[in-house]
Structure formats: structure tokens, C-alpha cells
Structure 1
Amino acid sequence: MGDPNVLEMVQEEERRVSREADYIFEMNEQSLSSRETSFLIKEEPTFQKDKQSKDSIFFRDGIRQIDFVLSYVDDVKKEAELKAERRKEFEQNLRKTGLELEIEDKMNSEDGRTYFVKIHAPWEVLVTYAEVLGIKMPIKESDIPQPENIPFRFLLGPLKLARNVKHPHPEYFTAQFTRHRQELFLIDDQSSFFPSSARNRIVYYILSRCPFGIEDGKKRFGIERLLTSHTYSSAYPLHDGQYWKPSEPPNPVNERYILFQNWARFSYFYKEQPLDLIRNYYGEKIGMYFVFLGFYTEMLFLAAVVGLTCFIYGLLSMQSNTSSTEICDPQIGGQIIMCPLCDVTCDYWRLNSTCLASKISHLFDNESTVFFAIFMGIWVTLFLEFWKQRQARLEYEWDLVDFEEEQQQLQLRPEFEAMCKQRKMNPVTKEMEPYMPLYSRIPWYFLSGATVTLWMSLVIACMVAVIVYRLSVFATFSSFMESEASLKHVKSFLTPQLTTALTGSCLNFIVILILNFFYEKISAWITKMEIPRTYQEYESSLTLKMFMFQFVNFYSSCFYVAFFKGKFVGYPGKYTYLFNVWRSEECDPGGCLVELTTQLTIIMTGKQIFGNIKEAIYPLVLNWWRRRKARTNCEKLYSRWEQDHDLETFGSLGLFYEYLETVIQFGFVTLFVASFPLAPLLALLNNIIEIRVDAWKLTTQYRRPVAAKAHSIGVWQDILYGMAVISVATNAFIVAFTSDMIPRLVYYYAYSRNASEPLKGYINNSLSTFLIADIPDHTAPVEKRDFTTCRYRDYRYPPDHDQKYFHNMQFWHVLAAKMTFIIVMEHIVFLVKFLLAWMIPDVPKDVLERIKREKLMTIKILHDFELKKLKENLIVGSNEFAKEVMIQENKAQLAKSTI
């Protein structure tokens, strides 16, 4: 047997280790217990106004940074106890995840009724969830040189920002963060290693999954459900500081101030955007929107220059235009008596009364129209293909190459969980999830479809009502504008057609805004009634409804003027009637292009001006009113979290409406651009303002949105591709059927008898003759005239022909030429589009090389790190083995000596 002294020594050592383990365990238990139950203890107010800064973004200790803020107000209703219990459970569970909370009592708030829960994510929480979310962090500074030989770089100097603003951080090789490899990453300072956008994204991830109790046998979780039930009134990350001044120590660098100085000021409208800084501060999803808007604006510059050139060409050639010269000539247009444009109240009129309208028409309907329509078909292809490349480059620069769909977009909506009565196993996660069978949703889908159809029908009905308005007031305008004066060679500035078009377009724009306002509310309601499963499904469903409605709402009147007005009029004596009451509208002798241009100008310009004013004024007024109501106790601090609390909420659908506005504008630029070459210029000017308005309101008037990832513009890209294809057809039809280009070309090559001036006599050729005696008595003007014939716009046989008033051969020649032009133009543009799409790679060659280089370097760095760690473990292991051998030998020697 061994010496009892040795056994006693061993037992004593075991007891000592056991006591130390028990002590450590007890201390951990006490620490966890204190964190979990601290919310039960009423904290003593430590508010001291003279010792705290209102711009501080730290806890009271001045060390722990505030990553998120929750707010709530005491509720005196019957659910007050339930809400308090939910908050208590929720905050307790947040502490269990490792988050640190600090509660500001309502007595310290400006309004005296709002509690603020400040949340800080310590280092251990950040590294844990950075690994869960797969956040990429720098491991080595990039050795890939940046391209410097940019063509005409010296010309772009005034447009450039300072390098420290444009690229606030160096380029790095990155890898997905792993807490077990922390030594691999470039961690200089733990407090600033994760940017604030990544910190608030991590905290929101925890908040969206934290449970707050079990109700009706189901586990309830997520901040969104608590916000929906008004348990909390708001949840938001903090801005870095004031936008009008830099931060003071110990606060970190105020990126909000830098963004305001270099991005959100209108005096910087000509400068490039600090895209990396936007991404660092607001996250990739918002950054992607501003990259797209900026790229779209840059591409519009080329289209605007070409469109303006075409307009200037029309302006310079206006005086030499044969058609308008003949119309304005008193000996030609002044001698042509036109048939009445409406029944009974409209009189005969002379063609030269539309002199000004014919000149204006030439500005947009000239030889450059066809060129510009083809150019825009190619431009839209180049825009979309180059955007693919820009997007691919951005995916590399912003570490989105291996991006997976953002988890918060795939999270179940609280409304879906609340309505679900059944549960089903998820085949991927193997967990039971709420499930709603299809038959439960079908009634809501039918209601949704019926509602959308009803509102689209309402848009069509309103458009018809505007048409009826124009038909009704046209006679009124004609009665005092086309009186005896028009038969005495008096040329009027405002013709009945132009006056009716202006007032009708303004009325139509007002109707569009009214319908749009109500439909936005209804579409959001019916989308909720469909009970989408995830936020992504909700946004996709709402996108489809809103785009379909706005497409019909904004473009229906333009489609009517471009493709229907004046096409089914008939002829004197046999006109077509709307509802057998109102005679169908006729186009001006120069065509309907002027009216289409008027319609586009009013709707497009009005929408852009109204949208920018609304975006700027609406949040400004709301914030002013909210601050006015909140600031009742001026002696209180009015802290950083209270200042942000009084700002407007950007919301999860904030970007949705921005994209929708841009896509609708894209439709105006592409679908009808053949009739209005200045549309790209108007869009360019609007977007220059739009970028700064969006930047200003996001930086100054809205709470900071939760950062989210996105590697593309999503479903909007598919919508743009669809509109690009449709635009080729619409512009071909506009040139063929709305403009007067094809009839002039047919006359030029087939019917002109003047070799020196081929278009001379075209106006007379394009007008048919009608015998006044053949006009029915119930449609003839009240006043009788001495004229025997009048003229109207069509290609029909004269009254003395065997087939009088039937279409003549020139009509069929013109129709064949129009159809041939449409087919040829579409095939040419589509062929060029497909060739360009094939020639331009989706991912630029240099980006592919950079991606391969970074992957190679990342693998090498990881390999070297693991190899080094393995060697260190082997050395440590061998040392431990040697130490263990020595201990055993010493024990053996001790045993021998005792024996």
C-alpha cells in the first residue's frame, strides 16, 4: 500500500480544485441571474443634465455604444398588463442572448411618457452572430491595383469627390468571419472592427428571433410582432450624430455628417456619390438603389444629348418645312376650307388657322424621329447590359459574390403566424412551422384579383370620362374660337384641339394622382388580406399590384392618344360615335403627335415635380409637428435617441416606392420617346434633383433604417427588361401610325410630281374632298355657307368618283408602308439588341480576374493560417506531453523515496 500521506495530499488537491470549480460556477450563476433579473429592480435615476451630452450614443458609462433603441409608452387600456408581461419576458430573453440593456425612465424623456430601452451588443455577441450571418470581414489588404488610366480623367476632375470620402477604407481581401479564427482577421480595435451598419443588422437579427412568451399554445417571438401589437412603439438604430456638425470625442467618426456634407447638399448636384460610404452607413440594399439611380442618370445623359440634338434639328428646320409652310401660306392653307370638327355647333374653318400647331408638330415629327426611335431601342439595351456589368462589379467590391438571400426577408410575418391554425414540417429545417393550406387563401386571392381588375376598370372609366369631357367642351371652344375670324385668314395661337388637349391633359393628371393615392392604400390592404408567408412574398405581391395599376393609370391616356385617337373617326356623313352620342375625336391635320407630346409633357413633368415636393415637404412637416408636440419639457436633455425617435420612419417599403417611381419614369423615357425626344432630358434633370432629395431626406428627416443586404435590384430588373421589349413595338407604332413620317415618305417616293421640291403639294394630297350637300342635316353647321365642298384628313375617293368616299389606292399603299416599317424597324432593333446582349459579357473580364485572384489569395491565407495553428498545437502538445512525462517520473521518484 502507498503512504497515507501521499493519499492525503492527493485528496486535498482534488478538494481544492473542486472548491475553485464550485466558486467559478457560483459566480457565473450569480452574474447570469443578475443580468436576467435586473429589469425587476427599479434603477435609481442617474440623469444629470450637466454631465451628459445630448449627442452621446453611449450608455451612461460612456463606454458601451448604443446599437439599437426600443421605445414604449405606458398603456392604460385593458391589455396593459399583457404588454408589460411581454416586454418583461422579451427583455429577459434578450439578456440571455448576451445583449446588454439600459432603460431610460419616462421621467427623463422630453414628453414625460416614453420609456427608451437602449441595447448594446458586446464583442462575444457580435462575433457569434457575425459567424451565423456569414458576414465577411477583412483578412489582408488587397494587392490588386486599381485602374488609373481612365479616358478623359482630367475632364472628370470637378465631378470627383475627395478620395478619403469616396473610398473611406482601403480595399481588403475578405473571408466569412469565424470566431475560432479571430487571429486571422485585421482586428485593431474591437469597438470599431464591426461597422455600425453590421452591428445594427446583428442586433435586429436577434430581436427578430427573440421569443417573448407562449400564447394559445404557440411560441411567440420577434420584434415585428411586438410592434404590430403596439407592445413597443418603435425600434430603430441610432444615427451617428447630428448631420450639421461633426461628432465630439468620445463619439466615433460621424459618418452622417460626412454624408450630408458630400452627398445630401443640393450644391453638390454635379458631384459623384460616395457609394462606399452609403453602403457602410445604410447597408447594401439602400446602397444598391443609389448605385442604380446614379447609373441610370449617367446613361440618361447620352440619351438627353441625342434627344436635344434632334429637337434642335427640328427647331432649325421648322421654317424650311414644306408642310407647315403650305399650311401657313394664305394662298394654300388659307384657301383650304376644312369640314367641321363637331356636329351642329362647329363651323367650317381654314387650314391656316392651325399654322402654329403645324410648326410645333414639326419639332417632334421630322426626319430625326425615326433615327431617335431606333437609337433609343439600342440605348435601352446598352443601359440594361451595362447595368449587369455594373452590378457584377458591385457584387465583387461589396463582397456579395456568394450572397445568399437575406434572412430577415425570408422570416415569417407575424400576421401569417397569427392566422395559421395548422402546422407542417419544413422539409429543409425538419422543424414544425405554421402552415396555411391553399383553399384557405383562395377566397382572398379572388378578392385581390377582383379588386385589382375593378380599379383598372375604374382607370379606364376615368380615361373615357376625360375623353367625354374633351368631346363635350370641344364644341364650346369651337363656338368662340373658330367663328367668322377663322374664315378670314386669322391665325389663332390656341386652336380648339390644342386648348382641349391642354385642359384635358391637366384634368387627366389630377385624376391620376387621386386614383393613385387611394389605390396605394387599397393595394396594401388587399395584400395583407392575402396573408403572405414572408416579407419577401408580401413585397413581391405588392410590387405586382402597384406596377400593374400604375402602368395602366399613367400610360393609358398616352396609349389612347398614340394608337386610338383619330384612327376610327369615319368621314363626314358617316362618323363614328362614342355611346351613339359624342363624335369620335379627330387629330389635327398635322397628326396626333402634338397632343401626345402635350400629354406626355404634362403627366411626366407634373408627376416629377409633385413627387419631389411631396418627398421633401411631407417628412419635413411631419417631423416639425412631432418635435413641436414632443418638446414640452425644455429642461430635459432631449437625447440622441429622442431626437431620432421624433424623425419619420423610412419603413420596409421605403425603397419599394422609390424603385416604382424610377421604373414609371423609365416607361415615359422609353415607351413613347419617339414622340417626345426631350423626355430623356426631363428625366435627367429630375434625377439629378431626385438623388439629392432622397439623400437629404434619408440623412436628415428619417430614422436610420436597419441595414440589409441585396445583390441586385430584384424583380425591378425583370420589369425593366419587359418594358424595354415593349418600347421597341410602341415606338415603331408611334412612328408609323401617330406621326406623319410614313405618309410623307410614300408621297415623296410614289406620288410627288415635283423633282426639285418632292414634298410640295403633300398637304393637298393628304386631304380628301367631301360634298357639303352630302352632310346630314342633323350634323351640319347651323350657319349655311356658300362653299360646295370641304376637306378632311383621309385618303378617300372624291364625290365625283364611281366609288366615292371609299378608300383609294394611296390609303392601302400608306398602310402597307406603315406595316412594313414596323416589321423592319422591330427586326433591326431586336437584331441589334440580341447582338449587343451577346457581345457584352454580364461580368467584365477584369472583375472575373479579381474574383479569381481574391478566392486564390483567401484560400492561401486560410491554408497558411491553419498550417501555422497546427504547428503551434503540435509544439504545445509535445511540450504538454513532455511535462506530463516529467510529472509522472517525479511521482514515481517520490513514491520510491517514501518506500
Structure 2
Amino acid sequence: MQNSEDGKTFFVKIHAPWEVLVTYAEVLGIKMPIKLSDIPRPKYPPLRYMLGPVKLPATVKYPHPEYFTAQFSRHRQELFLIEDEATFFPSSTRNRIVYYILSRCPFGVEEGKKKIGIERLLNSNTYLSAYPLHDGQYWKPSRTPSHINERYTLHQNWARFSYFYKEQPLDLIRNYYGEKIGIYFVFLGYYTEMLLIAALVGLACFIYGLLSMENNQTSTEICDPNIGGQMIMCPLCDGVCDYWRLNTTCLHSKFSHLFDNESTVFFALFMGIWVTLFLEFWKQRQARLEYEWDLVDFEEEQQQLQLRPEFEAMCKRKKMNPVTKEMEPHMPRCHRIPWYFVSGTTVIFGMALLLSSMVSVIVYRLSVFATFASFMESEATLQNVKSYLTPQLATSLSGSCLNCIVILILNFFYEKISAWITKMEIPRTYQEYESSLTLKIFLFQFVNYYSACFYVAFFKGKLVGYPGKYTYMFNLWRSEECDPAGCLIELTTQLTIIMIAKQIFGNVYEACQPLVFNWWRRRRTRTHSEKLYSRWEQDHDLQAFGQLGLFYEYLETVIQFGFVTLFVASFPLAPLFALINNIVEIRVDAWKLTTQYRRPVAAKAHSIGVWQDILFGMAIISIATNAFIVAFTSDIIPRLVYFYAYSSNSSEPLSGYVNNSLSVFLIADFPNNTAPMEKKGFTTCRYRDYRNPPDHENKYVHNMQFWHVLAAKMAFIIVMEHIVLLFKFLLAWMIPDVPKDVIEKIKREKLMTVKIIHDFELNKLKENLDFTYSNIMRDDTVKDDISLGENSSV
């Protein structure tokens, strides 16, 4: 036990001797090397010289040779390759063993119940913290040449931002932090690599839209003073809004074409196939990782299945565990029902709060739209003046920014509430606690981040009615209309602002929060020189990573995956922004873990857990959402229907589409309370819909073209979903979950392990037999000597 620099805090350093390590290595079934592997490492592709700049030195990428391994046994120590007892077990394995012992060590009795585990001591503030020490300083190498400072190596080759283009030293991460943290960085790196393909295709689609923007027939007609300039549009709000000319939205229509063109359909189909390939190849990567990291026969980590101290403290009864056959604390379900009720009520209230906040933002948009329209649509709008900021665009930008702020605020508070109500449910194990928290926070964030995008994509402009018979929200505000060029550009704006703002805020917060916190703690506690500032004090002044540290990292990645897949048809640059964010995210997370956080206790994991099921669910939903976006939010289907069924110009098939897509309304049919206050010299105005003209016997009723367009939209959704799902199931069938070479390597290793153990036991048996036989022979010789002595004496 040693006191700290300030004399107020006492540190107890725990060291596990060799006998303890070998005992618990056998208990935990830890696999250790028994022979150098004869299976070659994966070879680089033929053009490996092109990948030279991104490759790490072999000594960093593969810090240790490949071995055949077997579960450690104290009675077979001679079988294992033990060159040095001090370095035989990796540091992550040692700290896992020590923490396992501490988590099951009894320390007292209270009311007839044993007090067990370091977690309960930490929960009661008996100890302030318990953590493994970092492996030296991250800014300088080890002083002794025989010891490799893995923390320094990680910082130099992984945690520096100048190495953003380099691959990750995954084996070194696993050796230092354990498999659970290692597999997170494997997943994040793999996801980033796959995003590179999607980003290149999305960028190509964007460039196509950029190059074809000036030659777009729809924008050309809208911008033409003789076509769009002569079309008088109906007012955008009641009373205070004036008539306006279509060509005032010229710039807006050109921007819409950037994301609403022929490549939109191609990119939606491509992303449906991409997400399938992403998940199928991840299964293969995960299977390969299980082999490389000795996780093929992995069993659930005992640390996750261990009882939580809060559960033990609340339990007054005991029950026989059918698996362990031991008496364990037990809480009847009837005692937990009130807490489940409180938890469910809180979740429902949170979701209602979310929906009400979304409705509030919609009300804001409806209220402000009239204001924007009243002063932006002045007399100049009727003089062929091109507007750079339409009321729709102004409302969309301000509404999206407000919605983003509301999202970040609600997210901050709900995370705190979710953690509290999950504790109130009194989960039995850490695994149950994490699963319950995952469900609550993911559902909340799903609604929080995506509800606004769902509103713009699937509800805005769909049920607005027509002039003289508009639909109203709460009988107060007129429903929002889409721009004559469609609502897709507004969905793009919404998605861009929320996605980019979330990523920038997340990275800045993740980098600055621990840096400022640690600086303040060091400033308060440190008074002497670096030499007197011990290793354990330096680590104590760092932040604790916590058991839910990875949970929030996965959650952030999965939410981003939703932005990339659910609405990507409206924003082909989403994968590019996600790629840039992830390149920064990898280095930010590496920098945090290496320099700003205490070393986490190593834990095992063979997959990303429940997050994989969530990704599969979002992949299925994304097929439907992108199909509906192309069909109902984009303007591509109405243009195709006009192209094939209604165009009369063979040289310019889309000529006249703008005029065809706008219906005519007789100004005299306006109700008094909705018509503009100032009378104009127009008799008709135009609006976006397919309805009969006022001189038709069924005026303002949907015409036949409306039903043709609707049928085409529904047909497109069905065809697209079936094509993508067909490819999905076909690819899933063609791509095995476990690669053939990995299956062969697993079989080879099992065969060699059995053979090595068999030979070892056989040799050991021979030695024992030889030793026994020699002892028998020696005993027989002694007996003969005694017998001869007796005969001679006679």
C-alpha cells in the first residue's frame, strides 16, 4: 500500500504471482501457444505495392508469431511455450485474471449474506476506483530494451492524426485492450473501408447531376422567362401571401436536379446491394477474426454474467441456480413489476415528448413559412426576378437547424433518464443491464434523429389539398407544400444539417471533454515534479472508460449507418461525409483510449453482439424507405410517366413537362378568407397536382394522369423491393458466413492441437512407465542382494 502525492489518497497495488495466473488461466479456459503455426498468414493482393503507403511495419502489425493454441492446464505446463514467466501471459490476460478474482472475492457478511466482489466495494465508495495500469508513458518508449512499451507503440502507429491513412494494428490493440475493444475497432475499420466504395459511387452520381444541371429540361423551362416567367402560381399561404411567378424558383430547381436525376434510381439500387454485401462480408470478417484471435470455442464472458451489486443489495431471497447448483440472490417477478411499469411509462412519455417536439418544429415551419412568404414574395416576384432564397428553402433551413438543436438537447437528457430507469429495473447481470439500456436508447435516438426526415420524405406535401380546399393542421395552419421541383431537396437539406452537425458535435465533444476534465484534475492534484508523480497517480487522474464506453461508440456508429442507408437516395454524398467522419473517429477514439482514459479491464467478445441484429433490421427497412423516397419524394417517376405516355415532342421528350405537372385553378373560386388581399389582373393560377381544370365537368378532381403516376409509383416500389431482396437473398446464399479457407484452417488447427496433446501425453506416459520400470528393477536388485546376503550368512 502506498499513499499518493497529496497524502490523502491511498493506492493498493495488486500483483498476481505465477501460481495464481496459471490456476485461473485454467479456470477461465484461456488458450495459450503450444507450437508455431505452419499455416501461412493471408497474402496481400497482387498489386500490394500500391498499398505500401497504408501498410504498417510487420513488427507493429504482427507483434507476435502465429501459434497453435490449446486451453491452458497447470498439469501440462511443459506442453506450452513458456520462455519467460513474466511475459508468457499478455498484459490484457493478466489484468483480466486479476479483475476476475477481485469480482468474486468475498470481503464480509451482512445479515447472513456474503459480501462479494470489487464492484460492490466501488458501488459503496469503499474504494474510489479499480483499474489496470497503463504500460508506461505514451510519449516516450520504455527505458529497458527488453520491455516493449505497447502503449507508446500504439500511440506512435495508431493514435496520431497524421496516420489517418494507415491501417490499424489490430493484433496489438487486442493484446493491449482485449478482444472486446479490439473487435470494435475491427468493425469500425471494416465499415470505413466499405464506405469508400459507396462514397466513390455516390460522388460519381453527384458529379453526374452537377454536369447535367445546366442541360436539365425541367430547370430550363422553369428558368425560361417565356415559360416559367409566364406561369402565375397560387399563393403559398392564406391572406398575406401573394401570387408569384414560377421562374423565381429557378436556382432551387437546379439544386434539386443535383440529387433528383436519373442516377438517383441507380444509386438507390446500388445501396440496397451494397448494404447486403456489407453485412455478408462482415460475417466473413468476423469468422476470420474468431479464428485469428482464438475465439472459435468462445463462451460468454463470466464478467458479463456476473450478478450486479445493486441486484444483490436489493434481493432478500435466494434461489438455486439450475446451472451452477448454487444458492443465488433472487427477486420474484412480482416485486419488479412496479419498476417495469415506471420504466415503460417513462419510455412512452419520452417518445411522446419526442413526437410533440417534432410537431412543435412542424408548427414552427408552418408559422414562419407565412412570414417568409409575405416579405420574400413581394411585387418583385411578379417581375421575372430570380430569387436565390425561396420561402420553402428559407423555412427548410431554419427548421432543420432548430430541429437539430432540439435533437441534441433531448438526446442529452434522455440518456441520463434511460440510465436511471434501467437501474430502477434492477437487472440481474451486466448483460441484462446493457441489453435493456440498448433497447431504450436506440429506440429513442431512432425516433429522435430520423423522425424529421421521415416527415419530410413521406408526409410533407402529400395531403395538402388544393386551392380553395386546403387541409389544415389543428384548423390553424395550412399544410406545407412541396416546391414545384419536389420535396427531395428539402429532405437533402434536413439530412445534411442533422448528419453533419451530429458528427461535428460528437467528434468535438469526444475530443474536448476528456482533455478538459483531465487537465483540471491534474491541475488540482499535482504539485511536485514528474519524477514524484507515480504511474498509478497519473492513471488515476485520467477518466474511467466505464462498462458502457463501447456502448455509446457502437450507438454513434449505428445511428450514422441509418443516415447512410435509410435516406441515401436523397443524398448520395452521405457515404462520403460518413467516410470522412469515420477516418477522424478512428483516430479520436484511439487517441482517447491511449492518452485520456484509464486502461479498461480486458474482456472477451466474439462479435459486435446485439448491434449486428440492429444493423440487419435497418438494412431491411432501408430497402423500403429508399424505394418510397424515389417513388413519392423524388420527381423521377412523374417525369418517366410523362416521357413515355404523354410527351408529344419526339426530339425533346420532356418538353412541356412543367406545364403538364401544374394544374389550373380559377381565382374566382378562392374563398374570401384565403384569397390574397390585393386583387391582381389574373384569372387563373397554377399549383402542383394532377387535377381537372375549372372548365371540366368534374373540376378539381384527380385526372387520369394522377392515377397513372400513382400506379407507376406503386409498381416501381414493388419492382425495386423485389429486385433488391432477390439480390440480397442470392448474395446471402452465394457468400458463405465462414470462408472456406477459414474452415480449413480451423480443422487444421484442431487436428494439430489434438496431435500435439496426444504426443505430449504419450511421451509423458512413456516417461512414467520407464521411471516405474526402472524403480521396479532397482527394487528387485536390492531384494536379490539381501537374499544373497542371508544365504551367505547361513
Paired residue for 2:478?
583
Q: How far apart are 1:151 and its partner, in Å?
A: 3.3
User: Partners of 1:401 and 1:148 in 2: how far apart?
Assistant: 22
Paired residue for 2:446?
551
Paired residue for 1:832?
727
SS at match of 1:760: coil
Paired residue for 1:117?
12
Structure 1: which amino acid aligns with 2:442?
F
Alignment match of 2:717 (pick from 822, 841, 845):
822
User: Partners of 2:478 and 2:787 in 1: how far apart?
Assistant: 119
- The change in CA–CA distance for 1:898 and 1:520 in structure 2 (over 3 A counts) is farther
CA contact (8 A) 1:210 1:222 kept: yes
- The change in CA–CA distance for 1:694 and 1:635 in structure 2 (over 3 A counts) is closer
Q: How far apart are 1:868 and its partner, in Å?
A: 0.3
Q: Deviations over 1:703-736 (max 9, x none)?
A: 0000000000000000000000000000000000
Paired residue for 1:303?
198
Paired residue for 2:262?
367
Q: How far apart are 1:250 and its partner, in Å?
A: 7.5
User: Partners of 2:538 and 2:782 in 1: how far apart?
Assistant: 65
User: Partners of 2:781 and 2:176 in 1: how far apart?
Assistant: 57
Alignment match of 2:427 (pick from 505, 509, 532):
532
Structure 2: which amino acid aligns with 1:638?
Y
Q: Deviations over 1:97-146 (max 9, x none)?
A: xxxxxx10x3xx12220000001111000100001111111111111122
The gaps in structure 2 that reach 5 residues or longer are none
Structure 1: which amino acid aligns with 2:448?
N
Q: How far apart are 1:440 and its partner, in Å?
A: 1.1
User: Partners of 2:244 and 2:195 in 1: how far apart?
Assistant: 43
Percent of paired sites with the same residue? 80
Q: How far apart are 1:184 and its partner, in Å?
A: 0.6
Paired residue for 1:676?
571
Q: How far apart are 1:429 and its partner, in Å?
A: 1.4
User: Partners of 2:790 and 2:20 in 1: how far apart?
Assistant: 50
Paired residue for 2:651?
756
Alignment match of 1:606 (pick from 501, 510, 522):
501
Paired residue for 1:456?
351
CA contact (8 A) 1:264 1:693 kept: yes
Paired residue for 1:84?
none
Alignment match of 2:631 (pick from 726, 736, 752):
736
Q: How far apart are 1:252 and its partner, in Å?
A: 2.3
Paired residue for 1:510?
405
User: Partners of 2:697 and 2:163 in 1: how far apart?
Assistant: 71
Alignment match of 1:697 (pick from 588, 592, 605):
592
Paired residue for 2:489?
594
Structure 2: which amino acid aligns with 1:274?
P
Paired residue for 1:204?
99
Q: How far apart are 1:187 and its partner, in Å?
A: 0.6
Structure 1: which amino acid aligns with 2:354?
V
User: Partners of 1:151 and 1:250 in 2: how far apart?
Assistant: 37
Alignment match of 1:487 (pick from 364, 372, 382):
382
User: Partners of 2:359 and 2:103 in 1: how far apart?
Assistant: 49
Structure 2: which amino acid aligns with 1:464?
V
SS at match of 2:12: strand
Matched, 1:247 2:147: no
Query: For the aligned residues, what is the CA RMSD?
Result: 1.3
Q: How does 1:595-744 map to 2 (within 5 A)?
A: 595-634=490-529, 637-744=532-639
- The change in CA–CA distance for 1:210 and 1:895 in structure 2 (over 3 A counts) is farther
Structure 1: which amino acid aligns with 2:25?
A
Q: How far apart are 1:428 and its partner, in Å?
A: 1.6
Paired residue for 2:48?
153
Further displaced range: 157-166 or 472-481: 472-481
The higher radius of gyration belongs to 1
Q: Deviations over 1:842-873 (max 9, x none)?
A: 01111111111111111110110000000000
Structure 2: which amino acid aligns with 1:508?
N
User: Partners of 2:411 and 2:784 in 1: how far apart?
Assistant: 89
Alignment match of 1:275 (pick from 159, 170, 182):
170
SS at match of 1:137: strand
Q: How far apart are 1:448 and its partner, in Å?
A: 1.1
Further displaced range: 604-613 or 242-251: 242-251
CA contact (8 A) 1:213 1:220 kept: yes
User: Partners of 1:564 and 1:151 in 2: how far apart?
Assistant: 51
Paired residue for 2:467?
572
Q: Deviations over 1:557-586 (max 9, x none)?
A: 000000000000001101100111011011
Q: How far apart are 1:633 and its partner, in Å?
A: 4.4
Q: TM-score, normalised by structure 2?
A: 0.99
Q: How far apart are 1:664 and its partner, in Å?
A: 0.3
Structure 1: which amino acid aligns with 2:639?
R
Q: How does 1:9-28 map to 2 (within 5 A)?
A: none
Compare relative contact order (CA 8 Å, sep 6+) and give the higher one, 1 or 2. 2
Paired residue for 1:478?
373
User: Partners of 2:16 and 2:782 in 1: how far apart?
Assistant: 44
Q: Deviations over 1:173-201 (max 9, x none)?
A: 11111111011111110100001000000
CA contact (8 A) 1:421 1:436 kept: yes
Q: Deviations over 1:663-707 (max 9, x none)?
A: 000000000000000000000000000000000011000000000
Q: How far apart are 1:884 and its partner, in Å?
A: 3.1
CA contact (8 A) 1:330 1:352 kept: yes
Paired residue for 1:80?
none
Paired residue for 2:692?
797
User: Partners of 2:659 and 2:102 in 1: how far apart?
Assistant: 76
Alignment match of 1:424 (pick from 309, 313, 319):
319
Q: How does 1:101-140 map to 2 (within 5 A)?
A: 103-104=1-2, 106=3, 109-140=4-35
Q: Deviations over 1:153-174 (max 9, x none)?
A: 1211111000000001111111
SS at match of 2:677: coil
Alignment match of 2:769 (pick from 853, 860, 874):
874
Alignment match of 1:329 (pick from 224, 227, 236):
224
Q: How does 1:284-363 map to 2 (within 5 A)?
A: 284-363=179-258
Structure 2: which amino acid aligns with 1:186?
L
Q: How far apart are 1:313 and its partner, in Å?
A: 0.2
User: Partners of 1:861 and 1:380 in 2: how far apart?
Assistant: 43
Report the number of matched residues: 794
User: Partners of 1:716 and 1:496 in 2: how far apart?
Assistant: 41
SS at match of 2:727: helix
Further displaced range: 772-781 or 517-526: 772-781
CA contact (8 A) 1:411 1:535 kept: yes
Q: TM-score, normalised by structure 1?
A: 0.87
Structure 2: which amino acid aligns with 1:669?
V
Q: How far apart are 1:885 and its partner, in Å?
A: 3.3
CA contact (8 A) 1:110 1:636 kept: no
Matched, 1:434 2:336: no
CA contact (8 A) 1:127 1:178 kept: yes
User: Partners of 2:477 and 2:779 in 1: how far apart?
Assistant: 106
Structure 1: which amino acid aligns with 2:624?
A
Structure 2: which amino acid aligns with 1:655?
L
CA contact (8 A) 1:246 1:257 kept: yes
User: Partners of 2:604 and 2:789 in 1: how far apart?
Assistant: 65
CA contact (8 A) 1:111 1:633 kept: no
User: Partners of 2:573 and 2:515 in 1: how far apart?
Assistant: 32
User: Partners of 1:793 and 1:743 in 2: how far apart?
Assistant: 12
Alignment match of 1:219 (pick from 105, 111, 114):
114
Q: How far apart are 1:421 and its partner, in Å?
A: 1.4
Further displaced range: 244-253 or 829-838: 244-253
Q: How far apart are 1:457 and its partner, in Å?
A: 1.0
Structure 2: which amino acid aligns with 1:371?
F
Q: How far apart are 1:363 and its partner, in Å?
A: 0.3
User: Partners of 1:349 and 1:191 in 2: how far apart?
Assistant: 82
Alignment match of 1:776 (pick from 671, 690, 697):
671
